[in-house]
Chain A
Amino acid sequence: MTVNKPSSGRERVFSKRRAALLAGCAATAALTLTACGGGATGTTTKDGFAQAPQKDGALTVWVDATRVEAAKLYQQQHPDVKLDIVTYDGDANGSNYLQTKVQLFNRTREGWPDVVFSAQNNEATWAVDAGFAAPLNKGLIPSASLGKFASGANDVCTVGGTVYCLRNDLSQAVLWYNAPLLKKFGYSVPTTWEEYQQLGEKVAKEHPGYLVGDAGDSYTPEIYLWASKCGANHITGPKSVSVNTTSEACTKMARLVDVLIKNKSMSISGVFSTDFGKNQADKVLLMPGPAWYGGAVFKGTFKTPAKQIAAAPIPQWKGDTSPSTGNVGGGTWLLSQHSTHIKAATDFLKWVTTDNAYQGEKAPGFPAYAPAAENWLKGQDASGYFASDLSALKAASSQVWPDWGSGQFSQEAIWAATVKPGMTQGKSIVSLLPAWQDSIVKYAKSNGYKVSQ
């Protein structure tokens, strides 16, 4: 063993360190390169956007578990199309999965799906800026087809006059009721909110325990306040919103709900809560709620027997000239700008949103495409579950009040976190309206919205 050994050792360590450093540099360089490079080579501008060179290959479709059926049916009917069906959570509960992945794909410049279903209807608020959603009314989808969607259905997809997604289903609110029970009690279906309140007060006295509605879910404002034309969520531009929760339209509905909560004819548990399922599910007399309550709540969750549940139009304020209702969710389909199979993708998109084979017959929700909705309603009538026809749904589909938008921030989450805890403590909704406004304004601003109050 010689003296120079340690020094050579040190040298080796040094050179090793340099090598490590170099490797680090190379990796960083590679990262930056992939982050910035690639992209807009050889694109052709067509249909209103720069299209990537088109190729053969499988069409990648992202759907949630419920919509797998649609993709599979398409595959069955189009055996020659190569389809790669990927299931994901459909962005349920604001998981932001799609947005997260698109952000990553935008950095690596590859990997985007061709067509995506989302259970959220606010994807256009980021997918346009992110350069992901392709414009659909600039050549891809004929305006004749677009015109047959229920009026206002694609408002949530429209940014500056351009349509960036297609609505899958509508969730217009109607008044569900238990027809035999209502008859037994000798009541009639209320047509105005005033009558609705009187009925609630009567039920509280004559049949305590029975319910005329529920105000415990996070989408309560969309059922009641939206229908009452409360201007809590007026999206006036791509990044601007007008918020006013203390107008007469808001307070009179809040007062009504407060009265019914106080006399216990309206529950504050939420229809999917264990409390409601255990103690109140068989006490439902009336229930304002979205179109999907018929299948998901009454038939699916409460297991209410057939021939009991019926639907009527949502009540109006006395003296209101035009009917108006709210809306609770409803999914959307997006087509990727980066798709290299635009023709196949467009074909799939058209089929899945408009074709009777899926939307008219199999879809669980009320189709946004009006001709398919007609067919869907016939199917519901034929199934014999409901005690009435569901024409109220059809009428409501074009009566959704248009001044309640779909921003990037979640109105449902804000209501749940701000108003619901107060309601649990026994505070009135009227007293919580200012705090609600304050919270909406803060969230909107923090999401980069310009807010007018």
Chain B
Amino acid sequence: MSRSHHRPPRRRSVPHLASRLLTGSVLAAFLAFFVLPVLWLALAATKTDHQLVHDNPLSFGSWHALKANWDALTAFQDNAIMQWLGNSALYAVISLAITLAVAIPAGYALAMTEFRGRHTLLIATLVVMLMPNATLVVPLFLEINAVHLIGTMWSIILPYSFYPFGVYLTYIYFTTAVPKDLLAVARMDGCSEFRVFWHIALPLATPVIALVGFFSFVANWTNYFLPYVMLPESSQMPIQVGVGTLLSNVPSFNPAVGTLAIERPQLALATLVAITPVLIVFLFAQRFLVSGMLAGATKE
């Protein structure tokens, strides 16, 4: 601490300022890249279709147009969008609960314990994670059919619950961030393996639980193809498939749609509605992502 005080301030502050400027401008440039399209989307929902094309892309339309778009959107198939949101929430939350209950212990065990088949499991997980999913749909459908779950929500929830990505996140987290010695001490103190996991490992794992939970939620929420193929009733469809349906009713994307079309600002609004839950969950999870617990765990 005291060392820096001895240095002449000027020699340090000039490059310091330059590097801060550089940092700031890089971060700002990427901020524009990530946010500008989203900002456009948000503004698009406040316009009429005419304004969307003719007005300044980054201008605000009107509250009136936003209201009109909302009314048109909710009128589509008798407020189908609320049903889609409800379905998505149901599928995503139940799968999330199962994923956390299954993936966190598994990732922990892979990282912190030695058992037969550990290597095989790591490799098998990685391999199935890398498999392109187009051809998995047919076997999955047959499997779900063999256990008579076609048409139920479990045909979506169970495949969602299998979340190898989360297992690996947990595995890497424990191998890189939690020292094994810590657990060894607890074991020597006579803790059972379960107690070690529950009382030592789990509290340390808050950031990764938040991370896995969040990514699992997003993966479930944004999954399109599985429910699209698996579910037989339109009343069971989640929001992503719903947005796809809306999209196929926009004349620019499907010219032959006819006169009962969805306009582009309504699609923009539907998109915003579809992503809002993800963003809320992100903000909630972010509180746990950066817990400083581990950084100090090995400090004397």
**Which A residues contact B (CB, under 8 angstroms)?**
13, 27, 30-31, 34-35, 64-66, 68-69, 84-90, 92-93, 95, 97, 100-101, 103-104, 107-108, 111, 119, 171, 217, 219, 271-274, 277-278, 292, 295-296, 299-301, 303, 328-329, 364-365
Contact = CB atoms under 8 A, between A and B. Distances in A.
Given A111-B232, A278-B53, A90 B258 contact: no
Interface in B222-255: 228-229, 232-234, 244-245, 248-249, 251-255
Contact of B145 (A100, A108, A295): A108
Given A88-B245, A97-B228, 12 more contacts: A30-B146, A31-B143, A31-B146, A65-B248, A66-B257, A92-B256, A104-B229, A108-B150, A278-B53, A278-B54, A328-B256, A364-B258
Nearest to A363: B258
Contacts, number: 104
29 contacts: A13-B117, A27-B146, A31-B143, A34-B145, A34-B146, A66-B257, A68-B77, A87-B234, A87-B245, A88-B234, A92-B248, A92-B254, A92-B256, A97-B228, A104-B141, A107-B141, A217-B255, A219-B255, A272-B252, A277-B53, A278-B54, A292-B256, A296-B257, A296-B258, A296-B261, A300-B251, A301-B261, A303-B50, A364-B260
Given A86-B232, A89-B244, A108 B260 contact: no
B142 A119 contact: no
A93 B253 contact: yes
Contacts of B135: none
B251 A274 contact: no
A252 B89 CA distance: 58
B5 interface: no
B258 A365 contact: yes
B284 interface: no
B76 interface: yes
B124 to A, nearest CB: 12
In this complex, the interface size class of chain B, counting residues with CB under 8 Å from chain A, is 35 or more
Nearest to A103: B138
B256 A171 contact: yes
Contact of A107 (B142, B229, B251): B142
A203 B142 CA distance: 61
Interface of B: 50, 53-54, 76-77, 116-117, 138-139, 141-143, 145-146, 150, 228-229, 232-234, 244-245, 248-249, 251-261
Given A107-B138, A295-B258, A365-B258, A272 B251 contact: yes
B133 to A, nearest CB: 14
**Does more than half of chain A's interface fall in helix, strand or loop, or is it mixed?**
helix
Contacts of B117: 13
Contacts of A171: 256
Contact of B77 (A87, A93, A273, A303): A87
Most buried by A among B53, B116, B145, B251: B145
A301 B117 CA distance: 62
A317 B254 CA distance: 31
A219 B254 CA distance: 12
Contact of B249 (A30, A65, A97): A65
A356 B116 CA distance: 72
A116 to B, nearest CB: 13
B202 to A, nearest CB: 26
Given A219-B255, A295-B259, A296-B261, A31 B77 contact: no
A97 B76 CA distance: 21
Nearest to B80: A87
A95 B257 CA distance: 14
A341 B227 CA distance: 27
Contacts of B257: 66, 92, 119, 296
Nearest to B229: A100
Contacts of B258: 66, 292, 295-296, 364-365
A132 to B, nearest CB: 16
Nearest to B249: A65
A398 to B, nearest CB: 21
B256 A329 contact: yes
Nearest to B142: A31
A74 B284 CA distance: 48
Contacts of B77: 65, 68, 87
A310 B261 CA distance: 22
Contacts of B142: 31, 34-35, 107-108
